[in-house]
Amino acid sequence: MVQARKLVYEYEKRDDEGNVIGMNRAVDGIDIDIRQGQFAAILGHNGSGKSTLAKHMNAILVPTGGTMWVNGRDTKDPRELMHVRQSAGMVFQNPDNQIIGTVVEEDVGFGPENLGVPTDEIWKRVEDSLRAVGMLEYRTHSPNKLSGGQKQRVAIAGVIAMEPRCIVLDEPTAMLDPNGRKEVIRTVQELRKRRNVTVILITHYMEEVIDADQVYVMDSGHIVMKGTPREIFSQVEELKKYRLDVPQVTMLAEELRRRGISLPRGILRREELVDAVDRYACMLKENQS
Amino acid sequence: MIRDITIGQYYPAKSCIHRLDPRVKIVSTLLFLISLFVQNSLLGYAAATVFLGGVIRASRVPLKFIVKGLKAVVMLLMFTVVMQLFLTKGGDVLADFRIFEITEKGLRTAVFMAVRLIYLIIGSSIMTFTTTPNALTDGMESLLRPLNRFQVPVHEVAMMMSIALRFIPILLEETDKIMKAQIARGADLESGNIIQRTKAMVPILVPLFVSAFRRANDLAMAMESRCYNGGENRTRMKPLVYKTGDYMAYAVTVIYLTATFVLGRFVPFHLWIF
Amino acid sequence: MSIRLEHINYIYSQGSAYEKHALKDVSLEIPQGQFVGIIGHTGSGKSTLIQHLNGLLIASSGALYYNGQNIYQDKYDMKSLRSQVGLVFQYPEHQLFEVDVFTDVCFGPKNQGLSKQECEIRAKEALELVGFPEKHYSQSPFELSGGQKRRAAIAGVLAMRPKVLVLDEPTAGLDPKGRDDILDQIAQLHGQTGMTVILVSHSMEDIARYVERIIVMNKGTKMLDGAPREVFSHYRELEQVGLAAPQVTYIMHGLKERGIDVRTDATTVEEAAEEISGTLHFLRGHR
């Protein structure tokens, strides 16, 4: 679905007078392969290049080196631009700055309008998409009166209404409170299950990626780690090196292992940890008798 | 203070006027305004009163709400009336204050100007009370479309207007936040002379502009990523289609317009207030 | 030296259709030097509450005492209150406006009417307190990284030498390392200066590691108030109002239910690890 080979994005570094004093590489030789229907997560600290990479998936940026394909089309090709943007919809960080309409339903209709979808079909899609994110009852509300989580769900509906095969979410939860964060992640998960869309989630909240099929970790424009959440989060020290951390549960398991309690690596969920400790305690008791 | 101004606000209600096509409302409002200027007889204004009264009634916007809107321009109104009252000369002198005098013609013109202005304001605010800003923008875009031929970017201007409408409340809230933050840093926004006060605005305006540009940038990106490509090949979710009611409204306006014109110009009944 | 709130009520847009009772009969006292966390989700009244502390919002009813003086009495010097109770808003970097960082930090002390020299001394001191690197002093605040911008903005408030520092979501939008760095810096600052620090957050995990007292706000009322372990022992109630205790609290309770005899009041990863390993080693010791 989304594929990149030796992807490079360079931009000019300028001094105070605006003279070019060198080149910066925000993305530096990246290879990725995200298959249709996959849930892929990209982790990285601020300034690691993860947002730059995300913007390539929607052809907001085009590579200065290497190639990116979305749904088999080269994003560099201007003739494919609309196709690329339609097949990989994008949700951004700031909930206020991506809603265009002054009424919820009009905003969701904005994408289909641009695609030239007939009026009846637009109404159908708007209703469908709002229902899918659980915002149908707010269709005639002003976006200004919604909570952050609700605004992001409207933004997701706006993308869904374009019937993309892939949704790229660029730190969609960074400006939300914990409830809003849960709301958005839950919505994304449901969409994935019901509609088989590919989800690419860019975030620095570790808890949000534990259900991902594949996790990429970025640092200074490179992909430095790649694997399942379990594989990634079992490398606590490595992650810290990249200014990231691990979910608190994983951290606690790691601390316990350091104290000589042999638990499996890469524990991600609360129940998992409780089970593991319980098993360990039972083993101790058995040894006693 | 700002909250008291009702001009330009939308008043949500379910009425036949609310349901009309925005183009009908824009055109009719324009015709109504013209009708106030092409004649100046009592009968003509009687027709205007009946028309306006009927529309207000049909719109279900409470009269109280409409009158509140007039309060904002009461100063302007007073000024015009006073100017007309004292500066227009002619006819019998009704009162003499030595330095200036009030003449019959002055009084007539003053009263007449006041009525004209009030009708003008009420007429145009009925349009904004009953039409959402979005519908208004759509209507404008559709009506001005012929200007496209003269290279006027009608769609773009309409899009800009509707975006401005969406962001005004956000930027107002942001201004409030920045003001509070600077007050918390000891900024004094209330005292001092004009120069000092203007200078005190810098810590508010700079962050506000920075934020507005950041938002504009984000928004442009979001629009592009949703395949926005200007007005070409775009379909509409809510296309403007005239219905029977709209044609009827046009008819009513035309009848009114003819009536005032005929009454005001050709009926030899130049009765005035006095 | 303390802040005392007595029966504070605050009603937004009183008398209009948008009327909202944002604070309901809130009473509390914060002694000088305490490190307090205020928790609650959006709309719980926590932001409204902190804007009362420096007089930006005036209560609809009730009294607020700073150092024993009622700030609502006539002729109370609000300006001096605002320099003593420093308030750092959410995303404070959005209020930076000067051409360079150093001048921006001088804005607060300048408003206090201090001499240029004194302003500079204070600005330097504040920038050092937040760990802002000296080589960036003359840089435009708009060119800095997110974490540095935030430090500069916090320094802008610290330069007024407040006795009380209130921070609204100081870690919002930062990455994990940036988050830890800022919180560590704030904790260090609290240790160094003896300031009262009031930290508003919606992350239980963040707060549990640092503060000595947590105030939980819900729907405009003070719902819980006490030491972290005490507050988190009400984790079921917290959940009901849409807040969650730290992950470790749930794990400790989970273990207890399985019959592993751990104390459930650990609030941080380290405490929990200590407690679990202690209990398990105890089991092993009985062999």
| pLDDT band, residue B226 (cuts 50/70/90) | very high
Q: Which residues pair with A10 in a beta bridge?
A: A25
Which of A82, A105, A116 is the closest to B235 by Cβ? A116
Among B109-123, B186-200, B225-239, C172-186, where is mean pLDDT lowest? B186-200
What is the rounded distance in angstroms from the CA atom of residue A86 to the CA atom of residue A104? 20
Chain C residues with CB under 8 Å of a chain A CB are 41-43, 145-147, 172-178, 180, 202-203, 205, 242-244, 246-248, 250-251, 254-255, 258, 260, 269-270, 272-273, 276-277, 280-281, 283-284, 286-287
Which of C16, C56, C94 is the closest to B183 by Cβ? C56
Contact yes or no for B186 and C160 at CB 8 A: yes
Classify strands A65-70 and A73-74 as parallel, antiparallel or unpaired.
antiparallel
CATH number of A2-235: 3.40.50.300
pTM above 0.90, yes or no: no
What is the rounded distance in angstroms from the CA atom of residue A157 to the CA atom of residue A133? 6
The chains in contact with chain B, meaning 3 or more Cβ pairs closer than 8 Å, are A, C
Model pLDDT, residue C1: 67
Is C44 among the domain residues? no
Q: Which residues pair with A12 in a beta bridge?
A: A23
Helix (H) or strand (E) segment spanning residue B214: helix B194-225
Average pLDDT of the segment spanning C92-107: 93
| pLDDT band, residue A177 (cuts 50/70/90) | confident
Number of separate domains in chain C: 1
Contact yes or no for A119 and B239 at CB 8 A: yes
Which of C175, C180, C254 is the closest to A270 by Cβ? C254
Instruction: Say yes or no: ipTM exceeds 0.90.
Output: no
Classify strands C69-70 and C61-66 as parallel, antiparallel or unpaired.
antiparallel
Model pLDDT, residue C133: 92
Residue B1 near chain C (CB below 8 Å): no
Is C41 among the domain residues? no
Chains B and C form CB pairs within 8 A to the count of: 55
Model pLDDT, residue B273: 42
User: Tens digits of per-residue pLDDT, C163-207?
Assistant: 999 999 999 888 888 888 999 999 999 999 989 999 998 888 788
Which of C205, C280, C287 is the closest to A261 by Cβ? C280
Residue B196 has pLDDT above 80, yes or no: yes
Q: What is the DSSP string of A134-184?
A: T-GGGTTS-GGGS-HHHHHHHHHHHHHTT--SEEEEESTTTTS-HHHHHHH
Residue C26 has pLDDT above 50, yes or no: yes
Degrees to nearest 5, angle at CA B245 with B242 and B247: 60
Model pLDDT, residue C173: 86
Query: Taking the domains of chain A in order of start, what are their residue ranges?
Result: 2-235, 247-289
Q: How does the average pLDDT of chain A come out, rounded? A: 91
| pLDDT band, residue B270 (cuts 50/70/90) | low
Residue of C nearest to A171 (CA): C173
Residue of A nearest to C273 (CA): A256
Secondary structure of chain B: what % helix, strand, coil (to 5)?
Answer: 70, 5, 25
| pLDDT band, residue A148 (cuts 50/70/90) | very high
User: Tens digits of per-residue pLDDT, A100-109?
Assistant: 988 899 999 9
| pLDDT band, residue A232 (cuts 50/70/90) | very high
Is C172 among the domain residues? no
Residue B227 near chain A (CB below 8 Å): yes
Average pLDDT of the segment spanning B188-217: 88
Residue B274 has pLDDT above 50, yes or no: no
Secondary structure of chain A: what % helix, strand, coil (to 5)?
Answer: 45, 25, 30
Is C134 among the domain residues? no
Is C273 among the domain residues? yes
Q: What is the domain extent for residue C265?
A: 246-287
> Which residues in chain A have Cβ-Cβ distances shorter than 8 Å to C174?
46
Residue B239 near chain A (CB below 8 Å): yes
What is the rounded distance in angstroms from the CA atom of residue B184 to the CA atom of residue A237? 41
What is the rounded distance in angstroms from the CA atom of residue C222 to the CA atom of residue C216? 6
User: Tens digits of per-residue pLDDT, A199-224?
Assistant: 999 998 888 999 999 999 999 999 99
CA distance C214 to chain B (A): 24
> Which residues in chain A have Cβ-Cβ distances shorter than 8 Å to C43?
147
The chains in contact with chain C, meaning 3 or more Cβ pairs closer than 8 Å, are A, B
Average pLDDT of the segment spanning A245-266: 89
Which of C251, C261, C271, C279 would you mutate first to test chain A, the one with the most A CBs within 10 A? Answer: C251
Residue B152 near chain A (CB below 8 Å): no
% of residues, chain C, pLDDT over 90:
64
Residue B143 has pLDDT above 70, yes or no: yes
Model pLDDT, residue B7: 58
| pLDDT band, residue B3 (cuts 50/70/90) | very low
Is C79 among the domain residues? no
| pLDDT band, residue C226 (cuts 50/70/90) | very high
What is the rounded distance in angstroms from the CA atom of residue B210 to the CA atom of residue B217? 11
Greater pLDDT, A56 or B3? A56
What is the rounded distance in angstroms from the CA atom of residue C199 to the CA atom of residue C37? 5
Average pLDDT of the segment spanning C216-225: 94
Which of B223, B227, B229 is the closest to A100 by Cβ? B223
What is the rounded distance in angstroms from the CA atom of residue C24 to the CA atom of residue A193? 43
Which of C91, C144, C177 would you mutate first to test chain A, the one with the most A CBs within 10 A? Answer: C177
Contact yes or no for A288 and C286 at CB 8 A: yes
Model pLDDT, residue C286: 55
Residue B271 has pLDDT above 60, yes or no: no
Q: How does the average pLDDT of chain C come out, rounded? A: 90
Contact in structure between A216 and A226 (CB atoms under 8 Å)? yes
> Which residues in chain C have Cβ-Cβ distances shorter than 8 Å to A256?
273, 276-277
Give the Å distances, CA to CA, from A229 to A42, A212, A253.
11, 7, 15
Average pLDDT of the segment spanning A173-177: 90
> Which residues in chain C have Cβ-Cβ distances shorter than 8 Å to B181?
87, 89, 92, 94-95
Is C199 among the domain residues? no
Contact yes or no for B170 and A90 at CB 8 A: no
Residue B36 has pLDDT above 90, yes or no: no
